[in-house]
Structure 1
Amino acid sequence: MSNLYGVLPVLEAIKAGGRRIERILIADGARNDRLRELIASARQANIPVRREPRAVLDRLTGKANHQGVVAIAAVIAYADESILLSRITPETLFLLLDGVEDPHNLGAIIRAAECSGATAVFIPERRAAHISDVVVKTSAGATEYLPVAKVTNLASLIEELKRLNVWVVGVEQSARTDYSKYDYRGATALVFGGEGRGLHRLVRERCDTLVSIPMRGRITSLNVSVAVGVVLFEALRKRSQNK
């Protein structure tokens, strides 16, 4: 079991119904409209709700910002890579993360990906952040809806995607092509590197094309979660225009 905390993550977990929630704990004295909505949703789903001293919730979450609510819930299951690859359509938009290690970045990326309509996120098994209580909280509940798969080798996954006629677009600051000039129509996989180092050489070399986000200020790069949001919503805009 895991400790799921924060109003939005717990509320979305109740609504999604994708994993078992054993019980929900509400801090004594915590009262607001969103908590009332959460409690009503929990009772409708027959999930036990009880009040506890705030210190109990602090202990369960390591004094994280739990917003007065903690759910004792089953751990989120990773998606099956083979199933995701078997369901590719011209509308598919995959997101591949090449070594994002900060759980807050991973959570923010999953949130942006779900909001933009991405199909799934792929992360490496090693040297990368994985789904955790922090990731779930930062995603604001997006982890309840968006499939996330772990893969042993990202470069091999890219080769398989290309075999399945998915166009693989790497986002690299040194690339000459402006991300806003790319079309993004058809099945596409966007590849982003980890914090500080960008794409690994083997991953970069296997991409079909590379694009970059032009910088106009004195700082030469964006946080990876911001960069993901910029490119994903440009892809969404382009795809909407072409329908």
Structure 2
Amino acid sequence: MAGNSKRRGATRNAGSKKGATVGTGGHGRKALEGKGPTPRAEDRPNHKAYKAKKKAEAEAAKRPQGKGRVTPRDRTSSSNELAIGRNSVLEALRMGVPATTLLVFNRIDADDRVTEIVSLAVENSVPVREVTKATLDGLAGGSPHQGVALEVPPYEYADPEDFVDADGPIAVLDGIQDPRNLGAIMRSAAAFGAAGIVIPERRAAGVTVAAWKVSAGAAARLRVARATNITRTLEAYKKAGRFVIGLDAGGEVDLHESQLLDGPLVIVVGSEGDGISRLVRETCDQIVSIPIGEVESLNASVAASIALYEAGRRLG
């Protein structure tokens, strides 16, 4: 109103911190601008969802890193293993292998093997759990499980000395990396009367679920030992009176011509890519080869099977 502009408080001083503002609309817009969208609960440090997320991230960082999730093939003997497939599970139960849980697909088409599997589990007080196919698929990591899986304790390795006086040849695997090859060799070794198998303690495939599967249950009746030093183990076998032959495509003599197969024997099989290592090769009494046609080489498990068969045949 005219004449009242000098009234105390009618206008703000030019030096006021907020400055002169006409009306209240400006105040309203500033109030509505806010501080951006409300953070999700898991992004707020004081919220329990945030703490749960951080805990999950920490646990994930401790797990093995890879392209996908952890599968049974990533398991080692430091944790429980799974025998999968009807033959493997049935053989393990028949052999009385300690088991913690039997997992069965809840809509399985039961045959004679499934019936015996469940019966043996019940007789041996092994808990039986019905699970979905998705659960078994996840545990098997893509391998065919045929609707059953048996959780077994960590594999108990033997000592290489346990085989010294045993009947049959000893198979020593010098750095086999593929557990499926190990499983195949275990199967052949059990079939042809081997005393046992020796593998390195480090940098080699161990008796995991993949080996269990391929062995078709042989893992339940054939012992596998771990050696800290393969060369020293071979030397100990030689001192005990066993001959040591190594399998190599460029051998000194063909397998069927070797005279060493007629006595106590150790058969050394090299790794899939590099074959027998230098020190192990030098420790062998003889390097033998398996005559083949135009095929460049044999798979390590196939070569081992042929040598084990020939040795078993010689010993009668």
- TM-score of the alignment, normalized to the shorter chain, above 0.5: yes
Partner of 2:158: 79
Instruction: Please give the secondary structure, in 2, of the residue aligned with 1:21.
Output: coil
Matched, 1:181 2:257: yes
Q: Which moved more, 1:70-79 or 1:33-42?
A: 33-42
Q: Which moved more, 1:74-83 or 1:167-176?
A: 74-83
One-letter amino acid matched to 1:57:
L
Partner of 1:23: 101
Between Structure 1 and Structure 2, whose CA radius of gyration is higher? Answer: 2
Give the Cα separation in 2 of the matches to 1:201 and 1:35: 48
Instruction: Please give the secondary structure, in 2, of the residue aligned with 1:169.
Output: strand
Greater RCO (CA < 8 Å, at least 6 residues apart): 1
Please identify runs of 4+ aligned residues in structure 1 that moved more than 6 A.
Answer: none
Partner of 1:195: 272
Matched, 1:158 2:234: yes
Give the Cα separation in 1 of the matches to 2:139 and 2:249: 41
Superposed CA deviations along residues 13-49 of structure 1, whole A, max 9, x for unmatched, are 111113x212211112212222122222222323232
* Equivalent residues of 1:27, 1:68 under 8 A apart: yes
- Superposed, 1:189-228 pairs within 5 Å as 189-217=266-294, 219-228=295-304
Partner of 1:95: 171
* Equivalent residues of 1:93, 1:119 under 8 A apart: yes
Instruction: Please give the secondary structure, in 2, of the residue aligned with 1:40.
Output: helix
Aligned residues: 235
Partner of 1:171: 247
| Percent identity between the two aligned chains | 38
Matched, 1:41 2:113: no
Deviation at 1:54, TM superposition (A): 0.9
Superposed CA deviations along residues 125-184 of structure 1, whole A, max 9, x for unmatched, are 122111111111111111111111111111111111111111111111101311012241
Q: Cα 1:236–1:92, aligned 2, differ >3 Å: closer, same or farther?
A: closer
Deviation at 1:64, TM superposition (A): 2.3
One-letter amino acid matched to 2:283:
R
Deviation at 1:81, TM superposition (A): 2.4
| Candidates 85, 104, 108, aligned match of 2:184 | 108
Partner of 2:129: 50
Partner of 1:231: 307
Structure 1: stretches of 5+ with no match in the other structure: none
Give the Cα separation in 2 of the matches to 1:128 and 1:75: 17
Partner of 1:127: 203
Give the Cα separation in 1 of the matches to 2:161 and 2:299: 31
Partner of 2:93: 14
Deviation at 1:238, TM superposition (A): 1.4
Give the Cα separation in 2 of the matches to 1:56 and 1:216: 46
Instruction: Please give the secondary structure, in 1, of the residue aligned with 2:100.
Output: strand
Give the Cα separation in 2 of the matches to 1:126 and 1:47: 33
Deviation at 1:231, TM superposition (A): 1.0
Deviation at 1:73, TM superposition (A): 1.8
* Equivalent residues of 1:57, 1:63 under 8 A apart: no
* Equivalent residues of 2:235, 2:283 under 8 A apart: yes
One-letter amino acid matched to 1:190:
I
CA RMSD of aligned residues (A): 1.4
Give the Cα separation in 2 of the matches to 1:170 and 1:62: 35
* Equivalent residues of 2:168, 2:193 under 8 A apart: no
* Equivalent residues of 2:136, 2:149 under 8 A apart: yes
Give the Cα separation in 2 of the matches to 1:146 and 1:191: 17
Instruction: Please give the secondary structure, in 1, of the residue aligned with 2:305.
Output: helix
Structure 2: stretches of 5+ with no match in the other structure: 1-79
Superposed CA deviations along residues 223-243 of structure 1, whole A, max 9, x for unmatched, are 011111111111111111xxx
Deviation at 1:71, TM superposition (A): 1.3
